[in-house]
Chains A and B, each alone.
Chain A
Amino acid sequence: MNSDRKKKGMGAAVVKMLVGGPPLVFLLVFFAAPSMIMVLSSFRFPGEFGGLAPLAAPKEGTGGDYGLTAEAYQFFFSDVIYAEIFLKSFGIAMATTLICLVMAYPLALLIARSEKRFRNLLVLLVVLPFASNFLIRIYAWMIILGPESGFSHFVNAILGVFGIAPVTLLFSPFAVLVGMVYVHLPFMVLPLYTNLEKHDPSLLDAAQDLGATAWQRFWRVTWPLSLPGIFSGSALVFIPVLGMFAVPDILGGTGDILIGNLIKDQFLGTRDWPFGSALSIMLTLAVLSVAGLSTWVARSAMGHRQ
């Protein structure tokens, strides 16, 4: 009997290997391993001509450093500007998330409460802009916020009425923020919609029956039930924004660089790979804490309401 069980188990195990094996191996090699390499690289010296210095002593005493060090991290903490950039990135991410939430919520609410056959279409309409090339979406705002655009003229005209000097909308923190919101809005709409769609309408009926006004029904029934959707949407916006470099690169000015730009510069510009790796590790840690935090908050929010 036991041998039969083993035989059956072995056949099944072979199938498991064949089905699950290839993706597992692929991801281990091209995702897990590179991540480990990056951790390791953050503890090495930069090479003489960029890249990484060797781990072991060089064969022909060419000089230069080798081996492991925490120099990259020390460098990070040595100048306050890096911490500032991190804080700025968090700030932009926070602002983007909040604005996306404010904009996405009514939209998601509307779609969730529409008649069933329109819902898929409405959702598709939200997703379609997301399907266009990411750069195009940023470029569009270059046009709109450009100094010669109608929109800029319009804004400056209004400011002129109040006696305020004309501003350049492009290459500013404002432009970066608009760009970030525009690119990430669908990520907030979809989880919110998925959550709101599942709300039981009879809950609102019951609340109304018990005397709740429209605002109370929203605040005390809809809002709390939508919290898990809010948290997943927020995570889906906050995390990518933290690492984004293209938006500040195209829409921002020289002073608007964020973590992503910093990392990019290290790898493709100054070629200080250890520092770049260290920055990436710090970004990863930031992302992990945000993800962990949002999961924890979501769980306890749900727990409260059980």
Chain B
Amino acid sequence: MGRPLRHGTSPINMSRTNTWLWPVAALIYAFLYVPLAIVVMYSFNDSRLNAEWVGFTLHWYKALLSNQEMLTAARNSLVIAICASLSSTILGTMAGLAIHRYRWKFLPALVFTPVAMPEILLGVSLLLFFLQVLNVTLGMVSIIIAHTTFCIGFVAIIVRARLQAMDDSIFEAARDLGATPWQTFRLVTLPLIVPAVVAGALMSFTLSIDDFIITFFTKGVGEPILPIQIYTMIKVAVTPEVNAISTLLMLLTLTLIIIAARLEARASPNKSGTARQAQ
């Protein structure tokens, strides 16, 4: 039993972790990233086939920029994502607040089930609903509504987690010290949940831009949407243009995620006022 039992002194707790964990974990990280790296790499490949490296070129990116349909699709997806993330952030924040404060029996189920169940079910049921019941043509609006529906849950989860980590008595303290309910919300609640709300907004934006399945069913035959364009290209005629657009999309979502993570980190240790810290 001669192993040191103190932990936390090295980057990895060696006395706890067997050395075999390291290479296995590295392999799995490789498994996660190599395929994406290949996609990026071949987007610069001077060859139609995604087979072997021929030479560096920006040809495919240029082709992308002159692909009118692709540009329209990108614009549409952006519009949808902005609208959907706006509405789902507002509704999701309200839902998160309501679930935390009011113990309504059915609200959590209603809010979180769209997140948990297979997207195809949501897509198909909305298709039925829009066409059969509301009798509207599918288009941008139907997509925005669909995206909002499943993004609300994500925002609500993030906001609620934030609220749960806070000492609830600060809201009473504000009232106690003279603040009306509205002032309490404005001066205490809002500043404290803003990081979560922003993270939720970024998350729903990302989910909306990337969404394929639900969009697939609720888009109808009108406007081109980015993930559907990509799908069509994959199924019909694969060219490295797909790689190029994929790389650009990855760059976008990477940036957003990093911003969201930074915001979350900046908010957490300082000003979250976790109940644990109230010692």
Contact = CB atoms under 8 A, between A and B. Distances in A.
Contacts of B216: 264
A137 B257 CA distance: 17
B177 interface: no
Nearest to B25: A110
Contacts of B65: none
A183 B274 CA distance: 34
A246 B35 contact: no
Contact of A214 (B18, B102, B133, B227): B18
B217 A31 contact: no
Given A23-B94, A243-B120, A260-B120, A142 B17 contact: no
Interface stretch (B49-57, B67-75, B164-172): B49-57
Contact of A246 (B10, B11, B212): B212
Nearest to A281: B121
A208 B125 CA distance: 54
Contacts of A38: 121, 124-125, 128
A111 B36 CA distance: 22
Contacts of A284: 117, 121
Contacts of A133: 209-210, 212, 227, 230, 246, 249-250, 253
Contact of B35 (A182, A204, A239, A240): A182
A201 B5 CA distance: 10
Contacts of A68: none
B258 to A, nearest CB: 8
Given A110-B25, A133-B250, A126 B124 contact: no
Nearest to B156: A23
A190 to B, nearest CB: 12
Contacts of A298: none
A176 B44 CA distance: 27
Given A131-B206, A239-B117, A27 B152 contact: yes
Contacts of B278: none
A139 B234 contact: yes
Interface string A53-87: 00000000000000000000000000000000000
Interface in A201-242: 201, 204-205, 208-209, 214, 239-240, 242
A14 to B, nearest CB: 11
Interface in A249-306: 249-250, 260, 263-264, 267-268, 273, 276-277, 280, 283-284, 287, 291
**Which of A35, A51, A142 lies at the interface centre, i.e. has the most chain B CB atoms within 10 A of its CB?**
A35
B275 interface: no
Given A23-B152, A132-B249, A113 B39 contact: no
B148 interface: yes
A120 B7 CA distance: 18
Given A244-B118, A264-B120, A23 B91 contact: yes
Nearest to A106: B24
Contacts of B35: 137, 140-141, 143-144, 182
Given A23-B94, A143-B50, A137 B21 contact: no
Contacts of A16: 98, 102
A182 B34 CA distance: 11
Contacts, number: 260
Contacts of B118: 239-240, 242-244, 260, 283, 287
B83 interface: no
A267 B24 CA distance: 43
Nearest to B98: A20
Nearest to B206: A131
A33 interface: yes
Given A24-B107, A52-B132, A106-B28, A136 B249 contact: yes
Interface string A27-48: 1101111110110010000000
B20 to A, nearest CB: 8
Nearest to A114: B12
A26 interface: yes
A51 B181 contact: no
A128 B257 contact: yes
Nearest to A277: B128
B32 interface: yes
Nearest to A181: B31
Contact of A245 (B5, B114, B120): B120
A52 B132 CA distance: 8
A31 B115 CA distance: 11
A145 B25 CA distance: 23
Interface of A: 15-16, 19-20, 22-24, 26-28, 30-35, 37-38, 41, 51-52, 103-104, 106-107, 109-111, 113-116, 118, 120, 124-129, 131-144, 146, 148-150, 182, 185, 201, 204-205, 208-209, 214, 239-240, 242-246, 249-250, 260, 263-264, 267-268, 273, 276-277, 280, 283-284, 287, 291
22 contacts: A20-B102, A23-B95, A23-B107, A26-B148, A30-B149, A106-B28, A116-B8, A129-B33, A132-B36, A132-B253, A132-B254, A134-B211, A134-B213, A135-B230, A140-B38, A143-B38, A144-B38, A209-B1, A242-B118, A243-B117, A263-B124, A267-B217
